[in-house]
Each structure stands twice: as structure tokens, then as C-alpha cells.
Amino acid sequence: MQKTMKRKREAEEGERKKNMEIVWETPANPPQKQDYIFRNGKRYVRPYYFEFISHVNKRWEGKTIVDLFAQEFRGRPYEYYVSAVKSGRIQVDGEIVPVSYIVKRTQKISHFLHRHEPPVMASTVTILEKEPDVLTVCKPASVPVHPCGQYRKNTVVGILQAERDLAPLLPIHRLDRLVSGLLIFARNPAKADFFRQQIEAGMVKKQYVAKVIGVFPDSERVVDANVDYNAKEGRSTAEVGVSNDDTPLKGKAACTKFTRISTDGTYSIVLCEPVTGRTHQIRVHLQYIGHPIANDMLYVSENVIDRSIEGMSADRAAAISQGYQTVSFSKNLEDENQCSSKDFSIDPMCSHCPNLAPNGYDEHEEGLWLHCVRYSGPGWIYKCPYPDWASLS
């Protein structure tokens, strides 16, 4: 009887250890269909273990490994980095080092983390045209184009690879994460270079539609206003005037042409044709002329909205370098962010567990009423259907 109980305990212990084995992922691991969890209209990524890699630069050289992380990545407490080094979650050149280890220039630093990606809307990435060297899709709002910040699998590139086995895909232009519509991919470097040359030569024309506040003028409106992007605030400002030695204009020259399509007296549907391609150009130019995109909380007024009360937006969360930083988040998350051990293994060192989504994202965000409908160049045109919100009837 005792031998039977002992064998049972040993079997249970073996199974427990097996379940605790960690498989680390790197950028070389492609997304898989089973990596995604769909819940309440959102697409989540099953949290996974990931190796973040960086190399010691001049500013880091000569610091202890713990001080490096504590000073450069302040979102986690000092004690966490001590534990991470001791447990091998932080390594130097693939080796476990003591907490007093002093790093040297160009050494590879690995930080192994239990990675939680922000959720995106669960809309399908619809394929519009599939050609031997070009793929066009309708990008859903809230989904970034390619890996960036906290996003890797929850991207258009990742989803198409996981669900359609389409890779490699080379985006020839980008859309802001909250913008929907036409997205063009080259399927080989030669075609990507073909598009790049035309874009750089100013031969490609772009069209978007937006739903804006107010009755937009019925005549064509051309806006020439510099766009100055502030990365820290995550927003742009527009400026016009004459530059001189004393007060040079900020930002980069930008031009957008607007034409009203329809209006119901409260909102207007506007065709937007950017001549240049600056960050948030259409959004800030519409704000500048008094007709901001109706649901664009970043540009509906001149003042920056303080989103710290309800947590960090996914845009800001995605900008955090390499996922090292976490944000204090006091508001109770919705039930959809809670998970069980059936969804994924809880990591005892992870500051995001047991939640499914990472701390600090804004789960209430929605897609912008801004949609890319057409790209054209010499001898080619690609289009995307208008979204439902573009009809005011």
C-alpha cells in the first residue's frame, strides 16, 4: 500500500515538473493558430515565454547587471531584478551571472519574460486580392501592422501567418493601429522595392475616408500645415506661418486635400487625400480646421486627454521598450481579462498574471472612424470597401 502511494506521489511530482518546463520563444518562432483566445469580441494572445535581447551600449557599460536594469527599466522594483538575475531570467551572453556582475560593451543581454500581449478586436483580416507577388487585405482597427512594442502575434502579419500560412509579407505602407482599411503587402523583396521607388518618387496616391464632427464645407479644402510629432505624448500638432532664423517652424511640411462626400448636419463623411505621409497627419489636419474625427479622443480638442485615470492606452503600452516596464493599474479589470489555469500556466514571477491581458491597457478603446480606401500608382490600383460607419443614411 505504501509503495503504491509512493509511486503515485512520484508520478504526480513528475507530471508537475513536466508541466512546469518552460519553452522560450524568440522572434524566429512563428505564431500558431492555437496561440489565440477569442473572448467577448476581442482577440487575445495566450501568454508565452519570450527572450528579449539587447546589447550593452556605451551608457550601460561598467554597471552591474542589476543596476543596469533597475536604472534603465524602472517599471519593476529592484528586488525583481535581483531575483531575475539569481534565477537566470536575466543572462549575459547566454550565461547565468551573479548580481554583482559588471557588464561590458557589446555583450548580449537576455531578459526572459512571461509575455502578455494587449488584446485587439476580433475582426477577421479579410483578404481582398491575392496575386503571386502582391497581397492586399482589409486591416481591422486596433490591430498593428507588424510587431512593435508589446505586440508580436496580435498583428496583421502575425495573424496572416498563423491563420493563412502567408509568409513572408513585406508591408509597403503602414496604417496607424486604430485605423482600418486597405493594406498592401509585397510577397518578395523585388516587388517591395518596386513600390518603394514609386512612393519615394511621389508617384503613389492615397485616399481615406473619415467621419468628422460638424458640417464640412462643400468645396475642396487643402491644408498646408507642418506636422510636429511628440513621441513622449504620442500625438502631433499642426503649425503654419513663415519660418525665420528667430522662430523656425517645428515639425515637417505636410499637405492634405479634403472633399466632403456627405453630411447629416451633425457629422460629415470626408474624402482625405494626403500628399505627404506624416504621423497622424490626417487626424491633426482635421482637428486644425475644426472638424476632428468624431471618435478621435486624442484630437477632439486642443488639450491632451489625461488617460492615466483609466489606465494606459494600448498605443502607449505598445511603445514601452521591449516590454520591460509595467504600469500601476488600480482599476478592476473586466471579467474578460480574468483567466484560469486552463487558459495558460500562471508564472510566479510575472507581474501581469493571473490576468490574460497585460496591466495598464485601456480595454474600452475603439477603432477610429478613419479608413484607407485606395492606393494607386502608374499602372496599378488597389481598393478596399467602405466601412459601415461611412454611411449617414
- C-alpha 123/C-alpha 40 separation (Å) is 12
Which amino acids are annotated catalytic? 176
| Phi, psi angles (nearest 5°) of residue 122 | -85, 10
Q: Residue 198 class from Cβ within 10 Å (0-12 exposed, 13-18 middle, 19+ buried)?
A: middle
Q: Are 275 and 285 in contact (CB under 8 A)?
A: no
User: Is it true that the peptide bond before 217 is cis, omega within 30 degrees of 0?
Assistant: no
Helix (H) or strand (E) holding 221, with range, is strand 221-224
Q: Residue 216 class from Cβ within 10 Å (0-12 exposed, 13-18 middle, 19+ buried)?
A: buried
- C-alpha 270/C-alpha 310 separation (Å) is 31
For residue 154, the Cα-to-chain-centroid distance in whole angstroms is 8
> Residues 267, 269, 273, 274: what is their CA dihedral angle, to the nearest 10 degrees?
30
- C-alpha 18/C-alpha 21 separation (Å) is 5
Residue 47: all three cell numbers together: 501568454
Residue 389: all three cell numbers together: 460607419
